[in-house]
Amino acid sequence: MSETTSSSAPCPDEQAVARFVERFALDLAQGGFPRMAARVFVRVLVSEDGACTAAELAESLGVSAAAVSGAVRYLIRVGLLVREREPGSRRDHYRVRDDMWYEAFARRDEQLGGWEETLRQGVAALGAGTRAGSRLDETRRFFEFLRVELPKLMDRWRAQRDGHGAAPEEDSADSP
């Protein structure tokens, strides 16, 4: 490695970046993300401005405009990207939200609420007195717990990120 010395300049090794994009996208896909959406998302994430046009995404990923369109629709729906249209330009820009992970977890909560409802019906079908019924109800309470606690956890993340370092409160996860 002698010809391309881009270690200290603001010129990232594009090849290494591309490798990272594919790898992290694969990680996310593993975790239940649609594949193309994962790739598009990571591409935006590694862009210097945190925003890309559809054309840039299609070009850098080597995929069709249609694929990008579908992916950004998904990503906007789950709250990881926002669409921006600058007045002077015809191109939309897709930008990562600054509190993207907060948003992602917020959507999770909706899902949890739905699951709780399903479980309620299950408890009713089995009978609350049965062993199976009470097992199911414990599961419901677990999801309820998550639905209540995850937003709190996200608030703590926000606080740590924004205020951070200086005030190490060690009472972080206490129940009053």
Q: Which does 35 bind (CB under 5 to 8 A by kind): a second copy, DNA, none?
A: DNA
Q: Which of 92, 103, 116, 137 binds a second copy (CB under 8 A)?
A: 116
In angstroms, how far is CA 160 from the centroid of its own chain? 18
Q: Which of 13, 14, 59, 64 binds DNA (CB under 7 A)?
A: 64
**With respect to DNA, which residue has the nearer C-beta, 34 or 133?**
34
State both tokens at 124.
């009713």
Q: Which does 4 bind (CB under 5 to 8 A by kind): DNA, a second copy, none?
A: none
State both tokens at 113.
């609420």
CB of 67 to DNA, least distance (A): 3
Q: Is residue 59 near DNA by the rule CB under 7 A?
A: no
Q: What are phi and psi of 145, to 5 degrees?
A: -55, -50
Q: Would you tell me the crossing angle of helices 14-30 and 35-45 to the nearest 10 degrees?
A: 140
- Longest alpha-carbon distance in the chain: 74
Q: Is residue 79 near DNA by the rule CB under 7 A?
A: no
Instruction: Determine the 3-state secondary structure of 81 from DSSP.
Output: strand
Cross-strand partners of 85 = 92
Q: Which of 50, 53, 101, 157 binds DNA (CB under 7 A)?
A: 53
**With respect to DNA, which residue has the nearer C-beta, 13 or 84?**
84
Instruction: Determine the 3-state secondary structure of 6 from DSSP.
Output: coil
**Of 58-66, 72-80, 84-92, 112-120, which part binds a second copy (CB under 8 A)?**
112-120
Task: Render 87-141 in DSSP notation, one character per residue.
Answer: TT-SSEEEEE-TTHHHHHHHHHHHHHHHHHHHHHHHHHHH-TTSHHHHHHHHHHH
The residue ranges that bind a second copy (CB under 8 A) are 10, 12-13, 16-17, 19-20, 23-24, 27-28, 30-32, 45-50, 96, 101, 111, 114-116, 118-119, 121-122, 124-127, 129-133, 135-136, 138-139, 141-142, 144-145, 149, 152-153, 156-157, 160-161, 172-173, 175
